[in-house]
Structure formats: C-alpha cells, structure tokens
A and B are shown apart, each in its own frame.
Chain A
C-alpha cells in the first residue's frame, strides 16, 4: 500500500473513531440507567459474593446511592423521586451497611432523605439501629433515632431513651442529657423540636439540606412565638383567643409573622397553632 493511501486511510479512521464515540456517548445519555430501579442484592448474599472485599463493595453501594440521589435534583417533575426509587435507595443503603455496618455515611445519607422526603420513618430507624449497635462510640446515630421518634412518631418516651443513650457516648453529653429530660414535658414540643433541629442543622454539611433546616427552624420559632402569645392571652383573659388575629388586636404581639413556607396561620379548637403549610413542616402530623 502506498504511503499516501495509508496516511489518508489513517486519518479517515481516526475521524470515524472520534465521531462515532461522540455520537454513541450522546445516544447513551438518553438510555434509562438502572439506578433507581434495579434489583439490589440483599445484604447476606452480597456478603457472600463480595468474598473478602466487603468494605469495597459497601463503598460501591453507598456511592451509587449517593450519585443517584444527587442526580435527581436535575429533574423537573414532581415528586422529584418516586416511591419505588426511594425503596431502591433504601435497599442500597441497607445492603451497604450489611456489608460494612460500621460505615457511617450510608446511615447519615439515608436519614437525611428517607424521613423528610420519603416518609419511611420506621425503616430509617431500623437502618439506624443497625449502625447504633455497631458504632457504639457514635452519638449521632441514637440521636437521630431519638429525633425521628420525637418529631415523626410522637413517641417522646422512646426519644428520651435514645437521647439518654447518646449522652453516654463521647460528644455533647450534657446537652443531650438535658434534652432527654425536657422530652418528659409534652407541652414543650415546639421548643424541643427547635433544640433538636439546631443540633442537626449544625451537623449537616450538605448546603441544600442546611438551608432546608434553617427554613424549618425559622418556621418553628415563629410557631413558638405564636404559642407563647396564646399562653399570655390565656393568662390575661382566662380563655383561648377566638381567632389568631385577637393576639394582635389585644396587643399581645404586634403582628402575625409570615409563614416561611407561604402558608396561612390559624388557631384550631384546642388552641393549637395550625398552618396550611403544615405538611411541609410536620409531615406526619395528620397521619399519626
């Protein structure tokens, strides 16, 4: 073959190589990926298949779950993540922690999303419980189980138990112990929630999640303000205010602050503060 022909052929082949690679790559992006719906190998079987590479396999499962979750923020549709996808997400983290139950990241990742967004409270707690038993030096896990029991399951007793456990581990022991004792007082619900969330917000590193917690805290502080105003009114007038506006007209507070979730505050028949945006703040309020 003459050099000229060979050179020409070479250039053509390189061009074809680059072009087809580019096209194939673009086309692949339109294919559905498995993540979010593929079969997740259950923990005990994954342990067998991973041979001596359990740690690495758990890293792999966790990273897949992490990447999937991050990728969902590009989506436009609501709900952002479907319920079977949350199930997949949970299973991935469950298998990751079956392979390495000491790995903290899957527990924290699961807890950040599966309670607030997926409403899988009990499943999340059982996941965290696995970590709680193994990571016996880690106060965060029993703390989060305690929070979930308090905030979502309205089980103050359980919450206090877990907080007490957390306070025995190295960390902010005093703070946790005092919060545990506060939980005995059901009336202090909003205040306790604020204390909890301030700890959580401080511990959260993800910027998106941090902002969400700050909004929640703002909403809860406003509720606390309104609740205290209702108590002042009761003390002064020995009766519940007929409507929320009364707090302003009677001069207890200067104005009804705006709901950061854009809802509309009102008073229910028992004198509890309600908002049309309650679903966002206290997801399981009505369902329990």
Chain B
C-alpha cells in the first residue's frame, strides 16, 4: 500500500520585492510503499524541504495533491500517524525535554501514563535522561536535534519524516540516529528522509530519489543504482550536470 504519494505537485515561490519567482517543485510525483526507507537527495534549494513540508501541510501546492496513508495531507488527523523532524528545528526553549514530549504526546492523543512510559524510554534512547528536566535553551545543537527526534517518535507513528536528521550531530549522535532508523525499519515503519550525506543514504535506504531544480530525476532501488559500479556521488553529479548547471544558491 502506498504510504506516501505525490501526484503532479507544483509549487512556485515569488521573491517579494523583485518579483523573481522560483519553481520549487515542478510536476513532482512519487509513491512510497509501507516499510520502505526512502532517501531524498538533491542540491541545496532543489525543493526537498518544500516537498516534505507539503506532506506536513505547512506549504500548499499550487497544483496537484499529496496523500499520507491514503488520506489527503490537508486532514489534520493524519498527522497522528506521522512523526516529523524539520531541518534545524526550533522549540520553545523554556520547555524541558520532558515537557516537550508531554506536549507532543498529548496533542497526538496519548494518555498521560503512556506518555510517561514512552518518554522515559525515548529519552534513554537518545541519551537525554540526565538533562530531561532542564530547559531546552541550555542544550547544545546536537542535544536539541536528539530531543526533536524523540518528539517525532513519542506517539509511535507509522511514518517518520526526517529532514536532514544528521545535521549538527557528532559521530555518536549519527550512530544513534542510524540505529533508530534501522530499528524503525525492522518494526515495519516507513521512513522518508532527506540528507546530504550520501553514505547514510547508501547504508539505510531501500530506494532513493534525486530532486534537482524541482524535478524528480532518478528514482530507483539503491542496489540498482550502485549495480553499475558508480557511486551515488557520481550519479548525483551527473544528474546535476544533465539538469544544466550547479545548485541555484
């Protein structure tokens, strides 16, 4: 069953003062199946974050539609089943990690007792137990990222969407996230994540797609992509060249 679908999604952004517009997504279509770990690749400004935010209903497509678990993304209830970690997340820094997870759990419909159990577990998993009662403003970037990951998982969602989840993490943190992704896959969850770090994509993903200048170029199984002997980097660079030039920014 298709857990995530994009059908002909287009999105244009106008730059206010000068009116120059950027086509962030151009007739973007993609389907992701249950249990898949899908890697989303592309140069900066290619439209990856835009595509992800459309799933969270933070951005509305100009054309086309998207669904999650068969429901239109505009239906807020579907977000009970997804966990989202944005790139460079910001949280109310007066909250402690515990309070953050309480908020996340409660709004996703969890009971207080369940939140307590799951919080303790997750905080242990992301190694934030010692600081769980301190306000987030005292956390390092890496710790904030890990708290964000816990927030995305507190309600045990079916689909986990991660935008650059490794950014700001040291090797220990990266291993932690990697292990979590592997665990999620083993439990049959669907993971959709974007990253620059090609080795991570190679390691964790079943399939990968390249988004360049708003258009989805290659979409294929990792095994197939690497079969011909080229690395992901080679494919990345050649696709960019084919699209006509480097990144927009």
The reply to whether A and B meet directly (CB within 8 Å) is no
Chain A residues with CB under 8 Å of chain B are none
B interface residues, Cβ below 8 angstroms from A: none
